[in-house]
Amino acid sequence: MTNTIPDGYMPQTCETLPYYLSDKLPQGLILGGQPETWTVTEVGDGNLNLVFIVSGSERTIIVKQALPYVRAAGESWKLSINRAFFEYNVLLQEYKYAGHALVPEVYFYDPLMAIFAMEYLASHIILRKKLIAGEKQPRLEQEIGSFLAKTLFHTSDIGMDAAEKKALTASFANNHELCKITEDLIFTEPYFDAPRNNWTSPQLDEDVHAIWQDVDVIHIAMKYKYKFMTEAQALLHGDLHSGSIMVSTTDSKVIDPEFGFMGPMAFDIGNYIGNLYMAYFAQAGLQPDIRCRQDYQAWLLEQIEQTWSVFEQEFRQLWNTKLQGEAYPHTLYQRHDSGLLQRAQDDFFKTLLEDTLVNAGLEMNRRIIGFAGVADFKTIADADLRAQCERSALKMARELIVNASVHTNFSQLKLYASMC
């Protein structure tokens, strides 16, 4: 993979896309009607790509195209279009292991145009919008916990054949540009006066400057940056947050894994949990009714605890019944009673929980201080009130980062969150 733009590459528009698709869609994927009658709308509101909704008389699909730069920053921030290859292939792996119940179907990928097409989720909305509105999502903890367990287990050395795991690692090794963005924006830039940082100023100036001087936080951030760069535990979504999950009244679907690569499991879990904590603290600025606010905040904290519980329980079950994977080999552990395997699993999850808490705190810091904030806080129009909510979240983030080893479960953190 290189940064070279192929001859013939052209960013699509609402006018050109139907004629491009008429030659590229798989035979069985029929939109209905002639290309000139299709309705095309560009809906990309993220930081990187063009996203189109294309509707014919029989079917609607999503078409995503990578631009040769970061959309949110403009052409001055160059970026390889090969990231479309990685997103498409992460979706294939997630679909394989987590299934259609949790991941949308993908239809085709064109490397020349850095385009792929996928299922349109007509009845779904972005989860973050629901969280901002204070709406509860049924079975969310079950679905996201299961998604994490299935994708992380089956692409790790615990659950995957060693040769397949190494081949999978090699296939994602070149997603280094997006990994570099993560390394900079999450682990490095929030901890000094980086030009891209963007916080609620002047209200949070003292808080941010204090973090820049907090050697305990910086020490751990650098430790976990190194872990992010070197631990190829499993195939990660790489950007799992409430903006990367779409929900309907009955189910949840995980989308947008363009940052996917082989990395530490706790990064995905921590990112998601960190975003739920931010949703929790934002409620003080979003919901004026105290009883409604407290009820919803209690639900969010329960989501965090139960998501981890579902993840751990399902991961353990997959581990208990595995037939391949060179890490903790089945042929060795079946020679001993179940106590030896449980001991291995307990050690594994103790470390994973600690790493998850740290990653959750780092995600919270970067969203409040760094380049890409979250709508949960940005929606709060009153800057003073927004800063109060963010200050509480920063306090929680520090606890998660510095004292992760002290907390053995999420129940212990409920009280601390309520005191921030």
Tokens representing 43 are: 């809906």
Q: How far is CA 281 from the centre of its chain?
A: 19
Coil, strand, or helix at residue 3?
Answer: coil
Handedness of CA 302, 307, 310, 315 (dihedral sign): negative
The letter for the amino acid at 243 is G
Interval 251-296: pLDDT, tens = 999 999 999 999 999 999 999 999 999 999 999 999 999 999 999 9
What type of residue sits at position 258? E
> Rounded to whole angstroms, how far apart are CA atoms 178 and 369?
20
- Please tell me the predicted confidence (pLDDT) of residue 334: 86
Rounded Cα distance between 10 and 1, Å, is 18
> Which DSSP symbol is given to 245?
E
Cβ within 8 Å of residue 244, ≥6 positions away: 237, 254, 255, 256, 257
Cβ-contact 106, 114 below 8 angstroms = no
CATH 3.90.1200.10 fits domain 125-419? yes
Helix axes 265-286, 338-369, angle to 10 degrees: 50
| Residue 325 burial (CB count, 10 A) | 21
Q: How many residues does the chain have?
A: 420
Entry pTM? 0.95
pLDDT at 1: 44
Residue closest to 367 by CA, chosen among 277, 261, 254: 277
In angstroms, the Cα distances linking 234 to 126, 158, 228, 398 are 26, 9, 11, 27
Q: What pLDDT does residue 47 have?
A: 66
Residues of the chain short of pLDDT 70, as ranges, are 1-3, 45-47, 72, 74
Separation of alpha carbons 212 and 193, rounded Å? 8
CA dist., res. 57 & res. 147, Å (int): 33
Query: Any idea which architecture 17-119 has in CATH?
Result: 2-Layer Sandwich (3.30)
The domain spans of the chain are: 17-119, 125-419
CA pair distance 49, 15, nearest whole angstrom = 17
